[in-house]
Each structure stands twice: as C-alpha cells, then as structure tokens.
Amino acid sequence: MPALTREEARSRARLIDVRHYTVDLDLTRGEETFGSTTTVRFTTREAGDTFVEVRPHTLHRADLDGHALDTASLADGRLPLTGLNAGEHELRIEADMAYSRTGEGMHRFTDPADGRTYLYTMCFQTEAPRVFAAFDQPDLKAPFTVTATAPEEWTVLGNGTAHRVEGEPGRWECATTPPLSTYFMALAAGPWHSVRTEHAGIPFGLHVRQSLGSHLDDDAQELLDITRACFDRYHEIFDEPYPFDSYDQAFVPEFNAGAMENPGLVTFRDEYVHRSAVTDTQLQSRAVTIAHEMAHMWFGDLVTLRWWDDIWLNESFAEYMGYQVLAEATRFTGTWTEFAVDRKSWGYDADQRPSTHPVAPEPEAVPDTATALLNFDGISYAKGASALRQLVTWLGEKAFLAGINDHFARHRFGNATLADFLDSLARASGRDVHAWADRWLRTTGVDTLTPHITTDGRRWHLETAHTGNRPHRLTIGLYDLDGTGTADRLTPREPLTADLPADSGHTLTADGPRPDLVLLNDRDLTYAKVRLDTDSWRTVRRALTHLPDPLTRATVWNAARDMVRDGALPPADYLDTARAHLPHETDDAIVAGVLDFARHEIADRYLPPGQRTAALETLTDLARALLEREPAGGGRDGGVRLTAVRAAIDSATTPGELHHWWTTGTLPDGRPLDHELRWRLLHRLAVLGAVNTSDIGAAHDADPSAAGTEGAARCRAALPDPAAKEAAWQALFGEADTLSNYLLKATFQGFWHTEQQDLLRDYVPRYFDQAPALAARRGPAIAQALGRHGFPRPFTDPGTLALGQRCLADDSLTPALRRPLADELDDLARALRVRAAH
C-alpha cells in the first residue's frame, strides 16, 4: 500500500467532509479472517474524484449511493471514487479482513496458557484500513458507531460504552462517539477478566486476559488509584471536562507500543500487569504511562494534529503532562529523576544521530505517512517534553496552562497546527512564543554548556561556553566539600539562576572562594549536555554519594555519561565512579540507569574486548555490594535490591553461583525465584553454555504462559551450539514467517551475544543480506524490530560498519528498516571513536 502523501491528504480534505462511520465486524469467521462492513456518509463540496483506503483479504462488494463499484479497481489498498457530484454520499463496503500477528490492524492472539483467544485493534496512523474502509487521514474526523458479532462467551470493548444487544447472542453495540480521527477507532474482544468501577460519574474498567486475571486483581487497587488521581488532577488544570463517555484500560498481548491513546479504550502492553516482583521505579514507569495516555484524551483525541508533522502536539505534551501530573497527584513525587536518567538520554542519543529531526519539522520534511512513522522517537517524546519543561520554566505555569485551555476551547473535536497552539500561548502570556519555538522546535541537535572557572582569591568567576543555538533558563548548583568528618560531604550553597542567550555564553562573578562543585543545569530544567570542569569532576569522584537531591545526582550521572559518549571521559573512569558510589545510591532509577549504561555500552562496546571480562566482574562486585547493603525485603517493590539481583545475573561471567540459584530455586537471601528471575537466570546460563534444550523444555513446561513461551525462545536461541543458532536463524528469516512480533523479538534477544562471537561471525553478513527482504515482506513493525533487536551489536568493528553501510546504500530498503539501521550504525561508529580516544 503506498504511503499517503501530504498533498493527497490536503486535496481530499478540500473536497470532502466525513459525516459518520458505521462499522460492523463479524469476529466469528475463523482464525484467519473476520468480516468488516463499513458505511461512510460524506459530503463533497464540488464535483471531483477521490479514493477510500481498504486493505482486505477479500473485497466482496462496494456500493456508492446505491450503485455497485467495480471491486477490481481496488489497487494497493485504494478504491477509486470517481465522478462524484457535489452533495451528500453514502459508501458501503463489505469485505473479509485478515487477522494480524504483528500487532497491526486487528491482532489475534491465542494464549498458550489456556488456549483462549483475544483480539484487539491497533489502527494507528495507517492501519485502520486493515480493519474497516476509511478516508484515513487525521483531519477527516467523524463520529463512529461500531457493532460486532463475537462468540457468546466473549466481551467486546470499544471507544464508546459497549453493551450486548438484547435477543441477539454474541451481538454487541458501542455508543456513538464524538468526532474521531480514523486512527483512534478501537475494539477489543475476548473472554476478558475485568475489574469495573465508576468515578466522577464515568465508568472505569480494567481488562486483561484470563490467565493474568489474578495478577490484575493484585494490581487493580493501585491502577485505579493512579487513574482516579490523574483524572482528578487533569480536571483541576483543564477547563474542558473529560470528553468521552467511559474510560477503559485494556492490557493486551503482543502490543508493539507501550500504550495507545484510543479515546475511551486505552490499550497497554500486558507486561504492565506484573507476574513477578518489580521495583518501585517500574511501578512509577507504569503510572507515568497511565498519566501519559490520559493526557492524550485532550492532547490528541479532543484536539488532533492536522498532519503528521505535528506529532509533537500529541506526544511531547502527553509526555510532559504524564510526568508532571503524576508528580503532583500521586505518591510518585520523583518522576523527573527517572525522566532524566531514562527518557532524556533516549532524546539526547536520538538528537545526535544523522536521523535527527526538529521536534516540529517543517511541513515539507514530512511528505508522507511512511516518513512520519519514523518520527515517533526520542525527539518527539523526550526532547519535546524537555522543551516544554523549559517553556514552562520561561513562561510560568499559570500562563502555560491558560494557553492550553485557550487551545482546547478553540479547537475542541477539531484539528490544529503548531501555529494554532503558539497563538494560544502568546495570547495567554504576552510573550513572543513564536520566536522561542523557532529556536527550540525548528532546530536539531543538543546544545553543550561548558563551565570555565577562575578565581583571584577573593572572588570566583564562571564563564559558560555555549555551543548551540537555543536560549536556556537554568539553575547553577554550587556545593562545597566538608571533609572534617570520617567521610567527604557536600554542603550546598544558594543556587544561582541564569538566562543564557542563544548563540552566546554567560559570565558571572561571585564573592568568596570557588565552590568545589559547580553544576550547570542543576535540577535538570533545560535540555542540554553539560560538562564538569576538572575540579568539579574531582569533587564528584570523592563525594557524589553525598549530593542531597536525587535529581541533582541524576544530572551529574548524565554529564558523566555524555562525556564518555563524546570521548571526553575514559569509560574506565565512569566504571570506577560507579563502583565507588553506586553501592550508596538510594534512588533505584539512578541505580538501574547507571548499571544499564555500564553493562551494555561500556562493558560490551566502549571498552576494548580484552577488558570486557574485568568490567563484568566489576559490575558483579558492585551488584554484590548493593545486595549486602540492602536488607532483604518481600513484596513487589524490591527496589535497589531487585535491580542488583538482575545486574548480578546479567553480568555473570561464570555459571557457578547462578547455577546454584537455579538448582535451589532461591536467591542468596532465601527468597524463591519468581517467573521473571527464573527466565532471566536461565537465559544467562544458556549464554554461558551451562544448560541444554531439556532444561529449557522443562522450564517451559513449568511456565507455559506467553511470557514463558517467549522466554523459552530466547533461551533456545542463546545456546552456544551451531545447530541451535541455525534453527533460530531459520525461524527468524525462513519464508514461513510464523513468528509473531514478540517471538521474533525474543529470538533476536537470545541470538546475539558477545561471548559467542566466534560462533556468530558468519551470521553478520547474512543479517545484512537477508534483513531487507524480511522487512519488505512482513511490514513496518517487524522491520523496526529487525533494526533495533536484530542488529549484530556484539560486533564492534570496522568490518561490521562497512557491511552495514553497504546495506544502507540500497535504495530499495524500506523506511521502517532504514531508520533503525542507520541509528545502529551511527552508534557503532561512535563506539569505535570512543575506543580510539582511549
């Protein structure tokens, strides 16, 4: 199906208005297809021609105004509508549609735990025509009335409140919605386990497959508490009340995204219903996602982008509001620390690759939907949210919220652009927001702020060099060492606030001796890489543990991370700093972020191969130190201790201790291994060659769930055995194409391991030879997984870089593979530069 171009969308929007969709789905036709009948009422402003998108397995009939259309004219997912007269029209299309196994369109999943089947739609961006016939562009909004026929024992969920039709077994009807973009149409069907309640007069529901029902029951109170608290907070800050008739949250299997903001029926990946122990950071991350998707009910659903160049109007705002509202309304008050450690680094990394783009690209930079799909990345989410945080710092929260409410009032149930939103902010604040946006939203790259500090004995001077083109309002943290006791401590001075103009630095002078640590962007209010001067880094090495605020410590760790990535700090120095200070860290988000970077970037890529084993042993020692410090605790918020256990497993270089944990089924403190830790442990033992296929089969028999099936696939692919590797490769690249999106990802996660380079070397050219065809054959979701999870990361060498560059030069490469492949090759080139620098 060809990508819809911006010009095609503009032309169609000038010609037609869509008045209503009636969609009737028959979900009782077997395992391969479902019935779809769509009736669209629309008007044309003048005589003309257009087309409707539909991607059927079989197109049975198409009628326009009661006259049959030639179904043979359907080509590449487009059915021509020619010779239209000005006025009202009705289009009716009857088709059989194919179920998906890739998380796109109507995904069908049969739970291996109990054999029950579940369906859900993912109509995002261009996938609606795999479910129903549509004028598939965001600015042709219309009300939807959806009905479905399903097996009698199933429950059907939709955008509007769904109810059974009396006297018609298995028949469901959903309440007609307000005007929606086609990509928001949602339906989920199956024998769901549901928890229902009501809040503020709105029905709330939580839904999950039956095999996870007990785990949802364990989670329901917290999930509903978070949902209610965020709902109430949004009603405090937004003038527009919640615009839909119900709020269901369905946790669905094999979901590609974290969640999708379908109005009234938000879908989440069902890993958010935890089967095993999780850290408080993981609970917070789930809560952020809940708050993020609820923000979309206003940002994106009520007011929708006109075209895909403005995806930041959806994602950046939901990202910012999710973190901010969660911090204001719930027990998770430290959200911005996790954002700094995890999400912001995603944005920084993306913004330094050749594939970077402005938060708000120029319209001509997003000419079609295929290009737009690639921009749902760390720029549109993390960088955009960081820019908004800086905007709030500059405007003030009162003016910012007033601008938001003006925007909602002017464009409710309609579409809007960047210019529309900036006009609302400018009216509310009286500031030149358009000029700010030109600097922040229309540019690419990360600014770098570097301090230069001098002293004359009585005064100290800070000159901040500014590489970049954005203005920044930031806090400068000042800290002094107090080494009079048994350990170094850091005492904060009164922080400074600075406004750095665009394209130039900043100078200040203060009385007294220079602080031992000068930290630009303390509290992480702006989006910029910051450097530490020599004396400040020396202070960090001595006393990082004693910085009083976790967000300050996160800012320091980010500075160190950026210096490593840019070749300004030896990777071994970062590792030594982690070994010295991480055992004393109390914030789990920081511990997890530092360990992840040290394990997967420093040990696996940045250090020379001969130093890898020693680095992993250092991380294992660090994990043991954390375990010795943390008291054993039960419950589901194992915090730093659980993070340390995971790190100890992932960093093990010999199987001895891990094998003892496996055979006894317990951790060192005597706690039993849960599902997640058992599969993690077995995977690492498989990598090290300490288990066999029989062990994996027995583990799968004990846990035949979907997660267990993925775990077994991951472990089988990890075995250091030529036959196991070839079997995994054939499952991945063989033309049967039987692997679902999740099983393909799990198999790739098991396949590539640095410990197995000799065994894997011949597969590197095979990857670059075969990935393009598989990506073209199986579509965007699989193509992106191929690039992100399939790339041969263990091979940090010029030969792999050269092979990848030759593959990238192929003009026929699908866009969904080209972008992640280009990003992985850029990361590989960076790793080679870091090695060369040290």
Residue 44: CB atoms within 10 A of its CB come to 18
Question: DSSP string covering 179-211, please?
Answer: SB-GGG--EEEES-EEEEEEETTEEEEEEE-GG
Residue 202: CB atoms within 10 A of its CB come to 16
Question: DSSP string covering 226-261, please?
Answer: HHHHHHHHHHHH-SSPP-SS-EEEEEETT-SSSEE-
The rounded distance, in Å, linking the Cα atoms of 591 and 594 is: 5
H helix and E strand count, the chain: 28, 29
3-state helix/strand/coil string of 377-404: CCHHHHHHHHHHHHHHHHHCHHHHHHHH
The rounded distance, in Å, linking the Cα atoms of 132 and 123 is: 10
Please compute Rg for the chain using Cα positions: 27
Active site residue 222: no
What length does the chain have?
Answer: 838
Amino acid found at 365: A
The rounded distance, in Å, linking the Cα atoms of 677 and 695 is: 15
Q: Strands 247-252, 202-208: parallel, antiparallel or unpaired by DSSP?
A: parallel
Which token pair is 456?
A: 């004359």
From the list 173, 261, 293, 319, the catalytic residue is 293
**In this structure, are residues 648 and 627 in contact, taking their beta carbons and an 8 Å threshold?**
yes
Write phi, then psi, for 646 (nearest 5 degrees).
Answer: -60, -40
Question: DSSP string covering 459-523, please?
Answer: EEEEEEEEESS--EEEEEEEEEEE-SSSS-EEEE---EEEEEPTTS-EEEEEESSPPSEEEEEET
Of the candidates 393, 137, 141, the residue with the CA atom closest to the CA atom of residue 263: 141
Torsion angle of the four alpha carbons 598, 610, 757, 750, in this order, in degrees rounded to the nearest 10: -20
Which token pair is 748?
A: 């790739």
Instruction: Return the residue matching tokens 């060659």.
Output: 689
b/e burial code for range 299-330 (CB count within 10 A of at least 16 → b): bbbbbbbbbbbbbbbbbbbbbbbbbbbbbbbb
**In this structure, are residues 446 and 529 in contact, taking their beta carbons and an 8 Å threshold?**
yes
Instruction: Return the residue matching tokens 């998906």.
Output: 100
- Determine the angle formed by the axes of helices 588-597 and 612-629, rounding to 10 degrees: 170
**In this structure, are residues 188 and 107 in contact, taking their beta carbons and an 8 Å threshold?**
no
List, by residue number, the catalytic residues: 293
